[in-house]
Structure formats: C-alpha cells, structure tokens
Structure 1
Amino acid sequence: MNAHDSFIARHSFIELTARERARALLDPGTSRELLGPFDRLESPWLAMQNVVCQSDDGAVIARGTLGGEPAVIAAIEPAFQGGSIGEVSGAKIAASLEFALREFEAGRAIRPVILFETGGVRLQEANLGLAVIAEIQAAIVALRRHVPVVGVIGGMVGCFGGMSLAAALCSYLVMTRQARLGMNGPEVIEQEAGVEELDSRDRKLIWSMIGGEQRAAVGLVDTLVEDDTDQVRDAVLSAFESGLPQSHRTEQVDKQLERLARVDPSAIDPAVLRTLWQGDA
C-alpha cells in the first residue's frame, strides 16, 4: 500500500462527533450511553442567557468493553459551545470517573478514557464550571492510583483552560498532530497581551508551539497519532496494556522545575525547547 492508498484508507477521528468517537473506540456492539439526550440533562443556566441548550449538555458518557475489558468513556462534544464545560456536562464527566473508582473499590476493574476537545470552562457558568472541573481533576487523581486514566486530545479545538490541567493529570495522553494543548488559547493570549506578544492568526507558529507534534516531542504527550480512528484506538489500548506509570508527570515536580530553569522566557523557541527537553522527556 502506497502513501496515497494509506491516506485514503484512514477513518478520520477528528470528523466524528463525541458520540461517534466513543462508539468507535469501544469494542463493536458493546457501546451503550449513560445519561443520554433522552434524559434531557440540560444546563439550567444557558436559557436564562438566551443560549440554546443541548439535551446532553455536550458530554457523552458511554459504557462498553475496550479490548475485551469493561470501560467507560467520557467524550466532550466540540460542536456545542466549543466543548466548554458547564455544571451539567462537567458533573457527567466527574460522575463517570467516580463511578469507575467505585467499581475498583468493589473489586471490579474498568478502563477509564476521557476524550478532550474543549476550550475550558463555559463562561456563562463560570464559577459552577470551575468547581466541577476541580471535581474532574480530583476524580482523575483518585482513580489513577488504581488504573491508568487515558486522555485523548483529538481535534482542532484542542484542550485549554482548566481542562488542560485535567488532561495533564491523566496517566497517559494521546494526541493527534492537528490538536493543540495549552493553558491559555492563542486568542486569549493575544487579547490580553497584544498581537505583539502572540499573533493568533499565525497558524504555523501556534502549532509549532502547542500542536500535537511539539507537545509529544517535549514529553508532555505520550503518543502522537495521525487523524485515524484505528491509530487512536490502538494507542489507547497500548496505554492500558502498559499499566500504571512509575510516576505521573504531575508528580515529577523537581524534574519540571529543573526544566523550566533552563528556559529563557525572553527568547522561547520551539526548536530550543525540543533540544532542552527531549533528552530527559
């Protein structure tokens, strides 16, 4: 198979909805949705601000098996409010992780996966959204003592804000080249610090700094994949087969501080960061 045939044979992960992504990762015929759209768990706050609600609030929770093992997947829908996290969507994700923790405490293993595609907290629900993101983060930390928590950052929205911290807490991160990962999005940085600091229209610069390839090169992401559903699924399965890491990235405080001490903030260059960090990633 030549390169052209290989490209044609791919099944895009990015083009799928959150519901389709969860179903594609689970073993065929095993997916069932919890708290789905017919349960109508809508945000009580958006309508008050003349924002049209969505009946699942942009979060899909699916049970099934993954590689023959029980699994739960929490998938964020980027097409609704940019994947932003509100009270209801965040509570659904936190509850799914807390459910997985209770399964382990009862002696039943389960594989937890989070499909990130989010700009972070939903501004219309600011404090409530931030509180529930903290619950998601706490649930990840509690659960990763028992089993790897695997995160996937799939598409063009990327993963920003408080949810970028949730992604960093995952045991393993899988990322496509097209995705981005950062605390603040380029538009926010430009808005707050000016275009002289960062031009959000410079796509080459943005992806060279926070795109999937760069994040994997400096060790902030474990597996870089193409936009291919099979590659994403294989990477998730491989992460679970690897077992728990010896230490999570967020526990390596001294290592990260030593890395940062080597960086000159007045002259940050993506290539320099690779040189500085690749050796000890």
Structure 2
Amino acid sequence: MSMANQSALLRDSFIELSARERAAVVLDAGTFRELLGPFDRLESPWLPLQGIVCQADDGAVIARGTIDGQPAVVAAIESAFQGGSIGEVSGSKIAAALELALADCERGKIVRPVVLFETGGVRLQEANLGLAVIAEIQSAIVALRRHVPVVGVIAGMVGCFGGMSLAAGLCSYLVMTKQGRLGMNGPEVIEQEAGIEELDASDRRRVWQLIGGEQRARTGFADALVEDAVDDVREAVRAAFAQGVPAAHRTGQVAATLAKLAQIDPAAVTPDTMRAIFGPSPLNASRTHGETA
C-alpha cells in the first residue's frame, strides 16, 4: 500500500474499511506485511461440503508491522464473509498469530497484539471446531496480557458476539465506536429464544442503548469510546499501549463484579440502571480515555 493511498484512507471512516485495510491503517505507515494471505489459499475444508463458497483467507487477516516503531501483530476479522464468523481456519490463524507473539514476548522481544473484532461468534457450519479454536484465542490472550497489553477494537455494525465477546472481554483494553455493539448473544437470538417481549430486535435505538459502544464505555466494559475515524481509532490503540499492562484486568475483579450483579433487579433493567451499577470503577476510571469520562 503506497503512502498516498494510506494518507487517503486516514481521511475515511474506519467502519467502511475492509479487514485488510483496517489492519494496514492501525499499523505504522508502510510497515504492513500480511501473513497467510489469500494467495496462500488457506481455506476452510468444511464449507464446500455444505455448498458454501470459500474465501481464500477464510475471513481473517493477519499482519505484522510496527505501532509507534514497536513490533506489532494485528488480527482483523472480515465481516463481509459469513458475518465475520470464526471457523477452524480463520480462528487458527488468529490463535497462532497470538501464540507466536507470546513466544516472542517470553523471549524478551515484546510484540504488540491488536485484535479487530467484527464477528457474530462461532461459524455454525463448523460448530465444535470453531468453538475449540475460540478457546485457543482466549487462552492466548490471557497468556499474552501478562507481558504486554492486548488491545481489542469493536468498530463496525456487525459488532462482537458469542465466544468472541468473551475474547474481547479478556483484552487488556477495549476500544469501541458508538456504532459498535458488544454482547454474549445478539438481539435477534435473544428475541428468538426469549420472545419479543424480552427484546424487540428491530428496535435499533433500544438495542444500542443496551449493548452499543457508548453504553459499554459508560458501564466500564470498554476503555475508550471514539468517533468512526481512522485517526481516532489509531490514536486510541496507541494510547492503550502507552498505558502499559494494567495492574489488574476486568476479568480479575470477580468479587466486585458479583457484588454489582447482586444489585440488578431483572424486572427493572434499563440503560440508566446499568450505568448506575456498573459505572466505571476506580480501576476503569484510571484506564479510560476519550469520550467515556
């Protein structure tokens, strides 16, 4: 990618970029180098058996380069292919990239890991194989974050759901846009399983009030809320690495989280009640920047 093309991308919406373009602009200009790209044709062996056309990179882009001059690896999920679902191949690419970064960190060579989430979770056509590799991704994040911050970004309209929402929650720092969504189950799944009385998936305002980027930042589940602009996302990623490894991660605050859960009245759940209960703790307040103050 030429410097002129990259400069043009910096003026664009981050959400509108493909996974490959997102990975390129997160890295320092001119340092993008893709690993196991489409010309390597590492495709899912399972999708053709079900009459589904493969994508040559299986919807996951892995890139090496630098961030602020430091070695970095970026794993970007392509939502345009199967809704960003994680299959055996795409998940293995992400897990292996994180595991190789971990090996470098353990040898004293720090590699900055970034995961650009845009996924509905496991690819249903690959079921247990996808779930197994998501567990490998989660394990790699937990091991990596002892050495270096693991930064996740949820920017686009697909959001981040299913097992990959747990992976996002394990990240040291999480960057979101207002357009992004984060939840264990998507609104359509909730409506299907619990009924429209529980959640009307077509009520977009309600959905974003409950699981949108602004709400997740206001309740301490995301660390930075940024505008949909390449410069803003890049700056938030760099700012996260500048903070270093957190003294404690969200997932380590078990007692505090259980105490907050005990305060919830299931019959009176609103965006405001969630903000009152889960508002940024001193830990999150010290980690948060951008529009979440």
CA distance in 2: counterparts of 1:43 and 1:278, whole angstroms: 42
1:74 matched to 2:75? The reply is: yes
**Pairs within 5 Å for 1:107-126:** 107-126=108-127
CA distance in 2: counterparts of 1:130 and 1:191, whole angstroms: 22
**Paired residues, number:** 273
Partner of 2:156: 155
TM-score (norm 1): 0.96
> In the TM superposition, what is the alpha-carbon distance from 1:11 to its structure 2 partner?
2.0
**Pairs within 5 Å for 1:7-156:** 10-156=11-157
> In the TM superposition, what is the alpha-carbon distance from 1:151 to its structure 2 partner?
0.3
Gaps of 5+ in 1: 1-8
Letter matched to residue 108 of structure 2: G
CA distance in 2: counterparts of 1:273 and 1:105, whole angstroms: 39
Q: Deviations over 1:235-268 (max 9, x none)?
A: 0000000001110000100010011111101110
Q: Deviations over 1:111-149 (max 9, x none)?
A: 000000000000000000000000000000010010000
Partner of 1:271: 272
Letter matched to residue 192 of structure 2: Q
Paired residues of 2:218 and 2:280 also in contact (CA < 8 A): no
Letter matched to residue 29 of structure 2: P
> In the TM superposition, what is the alpha-carbon distance from 1:105 to its structure 2 partner?
1.5
Question: Which 4+ stretches in 1 moved above 3 angstroms?
Answer: none
Secondary structure in structure 2 of the residue aligned to 1:115: strand
CA distance in 2: counterparts of 1:194 and 1:275, whole angstroms: 27
Using the aligned pairs only, state the percent identity. 71
RMSD: 0.9
1:234 matched to 2:235? The reply is: yes
Letter matched to residue 253 of structure 1: V
Paired residues of 2:14 and 2:155 also in contact (CA < 8 A): yes
Paired residues of 2:28 and 2:69 also in contact (CA < 8 A): yes
1:167 matched to 2:168? The reply is: yes
Letter matched to residue 184 of structure 1: N
Partner of 1:224: 225
> In the TM superposition, what is the alpha-carbon distance from 1:214 to its structure 2 partner?
0.2
Partner of 1:186: 187
TM-score (norm 2): 0.92
CA distance in 1: counterparts of 2:33 and 2:69, whole angstroms: 15
> In the TM superposition, what is the alpha-carbon distance from 1:101 to its structure 2 partner?
0.4
